[in-house]
Amino acid sequence: MSQMRLSEVFKRCKTEGRAALIGYLTAGDPDVASSHKLLARLASHVDIIEVGMPFSDPMADGPVIQAASERALASGTKIADVFAITAELRSANPELGIVLMGYANIAYAMGFETFAQKAKAAGADGVLLVDIPPEEGGICDAIFAAHGLDRILLLSPTSTDERIRLADQKGTGFIYYVSLTGITGAEMGAMDGIREKTRHIQSMTDKPVCVGFGVKTPQQVADVAAFADGVVVGSHFVSQITSHDGTDAIADALGSSALAMHQAIASGA
C-alpha cells in the first residue's frame, strides 16, 4: 500500500475540500527520545509528515534546520534511529503520509537498495533527496519504485517548462514547489507570483503540487492552501524546539501551532 498511501491522503483531503498540511521535523532533534514524542505530536495534526534525516552539510536548509541537524547529530542520532522513529509513527498512524527527507549521501553511503528496504520496512511512503535531480535519478528511481516508495521531486520559481515536464515524468507522489530561490526558513515572496507559478505547474501535471519554503503563519498557510494541493511547514515547527524549555512544553507548542494551521486550511475550505 505504501506507494498508494500518499495518493489516498490527497484524495481524502480533496474530498474534504481542502489542501493537505505537511509538517517537517528533523529526526533526533534535540535528542532521539524527545524526537519520538515531538514527531508523534506533530503527526496528530498533519496529513503528511516529513521526517528529516540529519546530515552534516544540509546545503538547501537555512540556519534553523541546519541547527536542528547539528543538534541531532551531536546527540548521537543515527540513520537506524530515523527508521525506528518512522516505524513508531507508522504503527500509531496507519493513514498518515510519511516522507523521508534529506540528502543523497545518506542513502548512497548505505546503498540505495539497503536504504530502500529499510525505509519500506519502517513504513515510509516516499523519499525526497533534495540533491538528486531528475536527470540523476537513474541511481535510485528504479530501486525506490521496486520497493513501493514514491520519489518526490522539487521545482522552483526558475524551473522551465522542460524541467516541469521532466519532474512530472520522473517523480511520483507529489511535486514539491519551492516557493523561493533560497534556503528553508527565508521569507516568502509575493503571493501572486507563487500562485501564478503553482497554477502553471498544475496545468502541466496531474500530480498534487505542494508549496513550501517560507511558510510560517496560519494566514500564509491559508493563503497558499487556496490554490495549492498541499502546504509544507518546516522551519516554523523546528523553531519551537529552541523557543520552549522541556519536551512537554515543546510538544504542546507544536501541537497548538499545527492545529492552528490545520484550522486555517479548514476555515479557508
What is the reported pTM?
0.94
Residue of 60, 97, 59 lying closest to 173 (CA atoms): 97
Under 8 Å between Cβ of 100 and 59: no
135 is catalytic: no
- CA gap 218, 42 in Å, rounded: 15
The grid coordinates of residue 262 equal 490545520
Secondary structure E strands in 55-138: 97-102, 126-129
Please state whether beta strands 126-129 and 175-178 pair in parallel, antiparallel, or not at all (unpaired).
unpaired
Determine the Cα angle at 259 with ends 256 and 261, to 5°. Answer: 110
pLDDT tens track, the chain, 269 positions: 445 899 999 999 999 999 999 999 999 999 999 999 999 999 999 999 999 999 988 777 788 999 999 999 999 999 999 999 999 999 999 999 999 999 999 999 999 999 999 999 999 999 999 999 999 999 999 999 999 999 999 999 999 999 999 999 999 999 999 987 554 545 566 889 999 999 999 999 999 999 998 899 999 999 999 999 999 999 999 999 999 999 999 999 999 999 999 999 998 75
Phi, psi dihedrals of residue 102, rounded to the nearest 5°: 175, -145
50 is catalytic: yes
The grid coordinates of residue 253 equal 507548542
Under 8 Å between Cβ of 128 and 97: no
What is the residue type of 108?
Answer: Y
- CA gap 42, 46 in Å, rounded: 7
* Active-site hit among 29, 47, 50, 223: 50
DSSP 8-state symbol, 139: G
- CA gap 152, 156 in Å, rounded: 14
Phi, psi dihedrals of residue 30, rounded to the nearest 5°: -85, -15
* Active-site hit among 61, 81, 125, 223: 61
List, in order of start, the domains of the chain with CATH numbers: 2-10+19-268 (3.20.20.70)
